[in-house]
Structure 1
């Protein structure tokens, strides 16, 4: 005879506060890439508190190799996140100012308001917008002053020395990527919510979450411990949720880990970890947990917003960089002005370029330069990829966002 949590129902056991505290003191604690990247997005005080909490874990701290790989892949953009957020906010203020002035103009005509006096009202709006934009720039300058050099990277160098798992052998890595693809198709956690990343041009496609899971669980298995994963990921392929409440890991994940090791699995977000830091005898600022929670909300809004569309100015900025650093890619992008998929053998500098790997390498400058310009605040952070594989053509060609061909024709005509 079995009990409430035996067999296939083991994953439904909800961790008590005491069990979470015990996990913090005893379990292997694996940190995901998004948490490391958030160190650049949090306030300096919150980042320092989180790093001190990680230090208190000693040799129980581990970073899966895949997580560190993703950290380096996205670090530059995360480092520039405050600038990107400031540009987004200042652009929004400018747009709001134009809307207010338009509304005042319509109102003035409707009531016969003196057009000369209207200039005084619109001047007040312009002054208000400029004042707010200046305050945002001042706040950004103060934040930059608090982060002279790269103190985050300096602290991580010491913290993660000897704490990153070894890379997988080629055969094992290929097996994991195949398993991740199977899980995405069957909607088996973790990682199936990343199905859209299958075409993102990276070597791992949508397999990143599964690779982190695989490396973290195998490490904890080797050390015969419970596993606590700290992640900012709030998607349903990791969390068991009821509305806005985070109950714990998906039952399937808990059951899988128990079947692998006979031990418990726990999940925490950075805000949860900071709220429980006293368990590890670490003193943190009382605002740090709240700050991490606010950052989570902001980042979710950014990640879930509708993608922006390319503008003439942004496309011109990208082409300047491509012309300087990646002429073949610039030539391929200009071919997209015809509005048709772009085949690599159309680019004279390249000739034929058979195979997916060559196409993946060809797309890299687009992604790298776009991320750099976004980090500098020169491109909107939610822009869609300028080049993506045409899956219907089995990666034999690239396509661009629908607004880009007309913009390219305009640039060519100027």
Structure 2
């Protein structure tokens, strides 16, 4: 006779907090390429804290050869992202200044304001935007000064000495690529969400995730230990998810590793690892986990949208939010056209009657979770952008939230409908 988690059901066992702590202390911990690359995207304190935490793992830390290969393939792009982000922000500010000045000139023509007064107003706009652009460049210069050379690379050189798995022999590598392609076609985890990479110019195509999985599991099997994989990849071909909640590794993956080794599989994101650094007796800054979560949210927000929000979709989401997350519902309703689709941090604190000590980490999760629920029901189109996105101009704390461009007019139309007014198109 079998029990609840025997045989084919072994993968459904959800790790308790105590089991996750035990895994951090005892399991082989394999780190994916995206975690190493994010060291360049994190705030300096977060990068230092993550490296300290990885050091705390000692000889249980391992980086699959494929993960290091992908790190070197994408490192220059990640290293240059602060400069590219600064240029994008500066260009956006310049575009906003031109738009404001055009608005002022059109207004002046309509009300008969003389050219001298308009010139004074546009000069104020130019001065203000210019000062913001100067501050962005100064902040970038200070960040560059902190990271003269490449201290992250220097730290990784020491951290990863002797911790990278060997390169697979050519024949074994070819077999893994063939297996990865089979899994993509059959939608077997991990890696089937990378089907669009099969036609990439790289030799591995869409096989990268499976190669990381194969190398990590075979190494941990040789150590006869449980395996904990740290990845920023949040796709469903790695994670067992319920809406926006991360329950654990896909049951198929847990079952596969259990069948291979008789051991357990665990998954963590960098933000989870930093939040549990104390288990390794490593002290990290309290903001570091939130910063790691910010980078993950930013990455998700940057995913290209393939559909737009509709009036019925927004109405359905608001109905769900009213029932399950009323503060989030009220916050979304504030993102009207007159506010350019933005809701400030201060407004959210007032809506929720939050204390000053409270952090807003996780505030957007109900939007993600309920959007996923409504998409499963066919109410919200697949491929819509995230509807309520946290913005971090200072790099750590949420300053404001924004919504997609199509949403503010829809919110206004819904408000008019609720008030019994005819819709203004």
Q: Taking structure 1 as the reference length, what is the TM-score of the superposition?
A: 0.72
Describe the SS at the equivalent of 2:297: helix
* Whole-Å separation in 2 of the counterparts to 1:9 and 1:120: 72
Rounded to whole Å, the distance in 2 between the matches of 1:196 and 1:86 is 30
Structure 1: stretches of 5+ with no match in the other structure:
307-414
Deviation at 1:188, TM superposition (A): 1.1
Q: Secondary structure at the match of 1:29?
A: strand
Which residue of structure 2 aligns with residue 148 of structure 1?
Answer: 148
Name the counterpart of 1:29. Answer: 29
In the TM superposition, residue 47 of structure 1 has moved relative to its aligned partner by 1.0
Query: Secondary structure at the residue paired with 2:198?
Result: helix
Superposition deviation, residue 169 in structure 1: 0.7
Give 1:108 deviation, angstroms: 2.4
Q: CA deviation at 1:107?
A: 2.2
3-state SS in 2 of match to 1:30? strand
For residues 55-93 of structure 1, what are the alpha-carbon distances to aligned partners after superposition, in whole Å with 9 as ceiling and x for unaligned? Answer: 111110000000000011111111111111111111111
CA distance in 2, matches of 1:102, 1:9: 64
Query: Could you tell me how far apart the structure 1 residues matched to 2:184 and 2:102 are?
Result: 48
The total of aligned residue pairs comes to 306
| Distance change in 2, residues 1:198/1:90 (3 Å) | same
Q: CA RMSD in A?
A: 1.4
User: How far off its partner does 1:112 sit?
Assistant: 2.8
- SS of the aligned residue for 2:246 comes to strand
In 2, the alpha carbon distance for the partners of 1:60 and 1:305 equals: 39
Q: Which runs of at least 4 in structure 1 moved beyond 6 Å after TM superposition? A: none
- 1:147 and 1:304 map into 2 onto residues whose CA distance is 31
Counterpart CA distance in 2 for 1:199 and 1:89 is 32
Q: Where in structure 2 are the equivalents of 1:305-344 lying within 5 Å?
A: none
In structure 2, what is the equivalent of residue 8 of structure 1?
Answer: 8
Q: Equivalences for 1:109-124 in 2 at 5 Å? A: 109-124=109-124
Question: How far 1:302 moved relative to its partner?
Answer: 3.0
> Residue in 2 aligned with 1:64?
64
Give the deviation of 1:40 after TM superposition: 1.3
So what's the TM-score if we normalise by structure 2? 0.70
Q: Which has the higher contact order (CA 8 A, sep 6+)?
A: 1
User: Which segment drifts farther, 105-114 or 11-20?
Assistant: 105-114
3-state secondary structure, aligned to 1:219 = helix
User: Which residue is equivalent to 1:249?
Assistant: 249
| Cα offset, 1:239, TM superposition | 1.0
Give how far 1:261 is off.
1.1
Q: Which runs of 5+ in 2 are unaligned?
A: 307-425
Q: Aligned-pair distance for 1:243? A: 2.0
Q: How far, CA to CA, are the matches of 2:196 and 2:106 in structure 1? A: 44
Q: Secondary structure at the match of 2:247?
A: strand
SS in 1 for 2:267: strand
Partners of 1:305 and 1:137 in 2: how far apart?
30
